[in-house]
Amino acid sequence: MNSPIKEVLDLLDLEAIEVNIFRGVSPKDRWQRVFGGQVLGQALVAASRTVEERVCHSLHAYFIRPGDPKVPILYEVDRSRDGRSFTTRRVVAIQHGEQIFHMAVSFQVPEEGLEHQFDMPKVPMPEELEPEEQRRARLADQLPENVREHFTRPSPMDVRPIDEDDNLLNPAKGPPYQNVWIRAKGEMPAALSVHQCVLAYASDMTLLDTCLIPHGVSWFSGRLQSASLDHAMWFHHPFRADEWLLYSQDSPNAAGGRGFNRGSLFTRDGRLVASVVQEGLIRLRDQK
C-alpha cells in the first residue's frame, strides 16, 4: 500500500516485544513532543491485539506527561476482565521509566438493541470545499518560515474545515462551534479495528481548536501553551476512516486554564458513528 495514510498505518503497526507489551515509534519529523492522537491510536492498537471477536465501544484516556518523539514508547496492556459480553483492558504508555499516558478500553460482543441519534448538521459536502493542501498553500505566507514548513507538509488526513477563519495569526472571535470533514488519504485495510485506531489518531487533530474560537486566539501567535489533558471516545456503529466523516464540534465551557470540547462524527449519509470528549490545557503565556 503506497498512500499518504501509510505513515500512520506504519506507526500503528506496533512491535510485540513480550506478552502484553508492545513498542511504538514516532515520526522523525515530529516537533518537541509526541502528537496526542498518535498515542491514542497506538494504545488502542495495543489493547485490540489482546482481544478477539469483540469490538471496541469506548476508551477513556489521560495524558500525564509530554511524550518524547526521539525514543520509542512502551505500551503495557493489563487484561483487566474478559466477561461474557464485555472485555476490559488498561493500557499504560511508558518512556524514560515513567508513565506518560494511560487508557481504559472496553470491547463488546456485537449485539442489537434500541437505537436513536442526533441529526447531522446541514453543511456543505466535502466536494464543495477547498482541498486542504490547496488552502494551506494559499495561507502559508502569513506564517514565519519555520512554522510554514510544518504547516504545509503533507498530511495523512484530508481535513476540510467549514467556515474557518483565513486569518491564521489573528482570527476573529466567534461562537464555540466548528464543523470539518475528515478522511484518511488513501484506501485502508478492511478491519474495523484499524479504522477505529486511525479515527482515534485523527480525533485529536482539530478538537481542542474549538475552545479557542470565542477568544480569537491562534496556535501560531506564540502566546498559547496548550496540551491535551484527557480524551474519551465512544464508537456507535461501524465506519470507514478512508471515507468522508463530518466532525461536528462544540465547546460548552472554558475555565481554570482548561477548555472542554465535544465532537460527533457522522458518515456523509448522516449516521452518527462515534462521539468524542476532550479537555485540554489552554494557558496564555502572558497571563500569570
- Is residue 106 flagged as an active site residue? no
Q: HSE-up of 280 (CA within 13 Å, CB side)?
A: 23
CB 231 within 8 A of CB 199: no
Name the active-site residue from 42, 193, 251, 278: 278
- Is residue 204 flagged as an active site residue? yes
- Is residue 278 flagged as an active site residue? yes
CB 185 within 8 A of CB 157: yes
What is the three-class DSSP state of 81?
A: strand
Place of cell 491514542: 40
Q: HSE-up of 232 (CA within 13 Å, CB side)?
A: 10
As a three-state string, the secondary structure of 189-220 is CCCHHHHHHHHHHHCCCCHHHHHHHHHCCCHH
CA atoms of 109 and 231, how far apart (whole Å): 24
> For residue 189, what is its C-alpha cell?
485495510
> For residue 67, what is its C-alpha cell?
511524550
Q: Which backbone phi and psi does 102 adopt, to 5 degrees? A: -145, 155
Name the active-site residue from 38, 158, 193, 204: 204
Query: Packing angle between helix 132-139 and helix 145-152, nearest 10 degrees?
Result: 170
Element housing 67 (H / E): none
Name the active-site residue from 178, 196, 228, 275: 228
Residue type, 113: G
Active-site residue numbers? 204, 228, 278
